[in-house]
Amino acid sequence: MKKNKLYIPVFLLALAGSSCTNSLLNMTPDSSLTTNNFYKTSNDMDQAVIGIYSSMQDRKPKDYLLMEMPGDNLYMGTAMPGVNDLDYLTVNAENTAVADFWEKCFYGIGRANAVLENIDRPADYAPGKKEQFTGEAKFMRALFYFDLVKLFGGVPMVTKTPSISEAKNMSRESADKIYELIIADLKAAIDLLPAPAAAVKGRASKGAATGLLGKVYVYRKDWANAKTYLEKTIRDFGYQLEPSFATLWSLASEDNKEIILAIKYTDGANGHSLGIDYAPIGGLAGIVGSGNQYAFPSWSLNKKYINGDSRKASTISDYVVKATSPNDPPAWGPYVKKYATKFTGATSGQDLPVLRLADVVLLYAETLYNSGDKANALIQLNMVRERAFGDAAHNYTAADIAGADNFLDKLLLERQLELAYENERWADLVRTGRFLTVMKEEERDYNPATSTATRVTLSPLATMAVFPVPQRQIDQYTPGVLKQNEGY
């Protein structure tokens, strides 16, 4: 995939399109196209919409740096620029990983805006296609903004392609205003998008927009609206929990009924780097010849998987047989296993989930509890837990969730065990305020010979609920326009 260095205001002027293919499995849009020579036909618009997905496809494999690394699921392995500060909660405005994320989000937003600005130009749409493309652009814009507002708070609200001058003088809107845009876009997308059965895998559907809107309302603590949209997601679109957690991570069954939306990749030709990023330096026998191991699974997470929890085997492997020594017996060396699927090229073709039903069910449990329905909250919580253990023997009881703090303990535990390395942990800790206590200490490496873990003391501050606005962005604005977050 083409890698772009994207900066405000230049990246806001990029026009999305593709000169290659309309396949989601090969999303390599050419951002040098102009309005005059593109956006003439329905096929042009299809390529432009694929370009929006391509921006997410490019960004998502490194989301763990901001969404997992600051939490207690991961700690840094091989050094990467900016990652040490994310790992130790010492991030500053010069952090390159934070800046890369910001820029890639706004590049995707710019592509979505270009589609919406030019949607009326073609005259050859098949019935429903114009509505579909509009819905997809609004959905993806909402998704990019949701990720931004979770990590930065208020950001510039860009809903049309600005001039250079306009971009340099575009200040941040409040988080509330950004959420208003997200909600409006998702409501429009629900009306415009096809049902999941009619949507192409890897592209947004009415179900995906409904589920994401329910999730947004959970972040807003708008329990009434969250309940409405999460219930619709669970009830109306035919989604089902996979009987086995392991099949979620199998290439043969990745297009399953639990996946509400996933970003598509292809082995080698248009894949992602997670399979290598998490793999041990010596690779994994039968899977990948070498790895980077930029991050290790923490003992803080590892120890929480109790006997019988089937999620452990698909999430973390404690023992490794390296590709460089395939005949050696397994040796202690925990690594993230969730993305350790075999691939033949330099990059993995495993799809990366954006939203799946288990996430929605746990959010629904949270919503029900905060709406006063503890009994049904318990049922939803245990639905996910039963899948993990294969029976009801490990189910929670009403006594386990008697108080609000007790329930939140169990909810966050289940979300951590179920969604580890799917980029939910840091946001969960922040939105519940738990990062201030949970992240005071992390157990990282573990020595099985001595049964001891390396403990690292950290100093989380309330201002770390949001990341700094990248300094390299601030520097390109008119002085004083793009304000920094407090504490940075």
Residue 96: domain span: 10-193
- CA distance linking residue 409 with residue 106, whole number of Å: 35
Burial class (CB within 10 angstroms; exposed 0-12, middle 13-18, buried 19+) of 86: buried
Q: Are 185 and 142 a contacting pair, CB within 8 Å?
A: yes
Q: Are 27 and 54 a contacting pair, CB within 8 Å?
A: yes
Which residue(s) pair with 425 in the sheet? Answer: none
Closest by CA to 144, choosing from 16, 323, 242, 19, is 16
**Which residues lie closer than 8 Å to 450 by C-beta, 6 or more apart?**
none
Domain count, the chain: 1
User: Tell me, what's the pLDDT at 37?
Assistant: 76
Does the residue 450 lie in any domain?
Answer: no
Place of tokens 């490194």: 62
Q: Are 450 and 434 a contacting pair, CB within 8 Å?
A: no
What secondary structure letter does DSSP report for 403? S
Q: Helices 129-152 and 42-59 sit at what angle, rounded to 10 degrees?
A: 20
What phi and psi, each to the nearest 5 degrees, are found at residue 296? Answer: -110, 150
Residue 168 CA to chain centroid, in angstroms?
29
- CA distance linking residue 114 with residue 108, whole number of Å: 10
Place of tokens 């951002």: 31
Q: What is the pLDDT of residues 128-157, one digit of tens each?
A: 999 999 999 999 999 999 999 999 999 999
Does the residue 263 lie in any domain?
Answer: no
Ranges in the chain, pLDDT < 70? 1-36
Does the residue 466 lie in any domain?
Answer: no
- C-alpha distance from residue 88 to each of 69, 80, 251, 284 (Å): 9, 13, 34, 28
Q: Are 456 and 442 a contacting pair, CB within 8 Å?
A: yes
User: Tell me, what's the pLDDT at 34?
Assistant: 59
What secondary structure letter does DSSP report for 10? G
Does the residue 182 lie in any domain?
Answer: yes
Does the residue 198 lie in any domain?
Answer: no
Tell me the two tokens of residue 221.
């603590």
Does the residue 117 lie in any domain?
Answer: yes
User: Tell me, what's the pLDDT at 245?
Assistant: 98
Does the residue 200 lie in any domain?
Answer: no
Beta strands, E only, 292-440: 295-297, 316-320, 331-336, 352-356
Buried b (16+ CB within 10 A) or exposed e, 295-322: bbbbbbbbeebeeebebbebbbbbebbb
Measured between alpha carbons, how far apart are the two ends of the chain, in Å? 34
- CA distance linking residue 264 with residue 485, whole number of Å: 34
Helix (H) or strand (E) holding 103: helix 96-118
Helix (H) or strand (E) holding 131: helix 129-152
What is the bridge-based pairing of β-strands 316-320 and 352-356? unpaired
Q: How many CB atoms lie within 10 A of CB 376?
A: 13
Does the residue 417 lie in any domain?
Answer: no
- CA distance linking residue 70 with residue 101, whole number of Å: 15
Buried b (16+ CB within 10 A) or exposed e, 89-108: bebebebebbbbbbbbbbbb
> What single string gives the DSSP state of each residue in 198-255?
GSPTTS--HHHHHHHHHHHHHHTT-HHHHHHHHHHHHHHS-----S-GGGGG-GGG-S
- CA distance linking residue 351 with residue 204, whole number of Å: 14
- CA distance linking residue 51 with residue 56, whole number of Å: 9
- CATH number of the domain enclosing 72: 1.25.40.390
Burial class (CB within 10 angstroms; exposed 0-12, middle 13-18, buried 19+) of 228: middle
Place of tokens 């939803």: 380
Bond from prior residue into 9 cis (ω within 30 degrees of 0): yes
- CA distance linking residue 486 with residue 449, whole number of Å: 45
- C-alpha distance from residue 289 to each of 125, 285, 345 (Å): 47, 7, 10
Q: Are 319 and 325 a contacting pair, CB within 8 Å?
A: no
Q: Are 420 and 341 a contacting pair, CB within 8 Å?
A: no
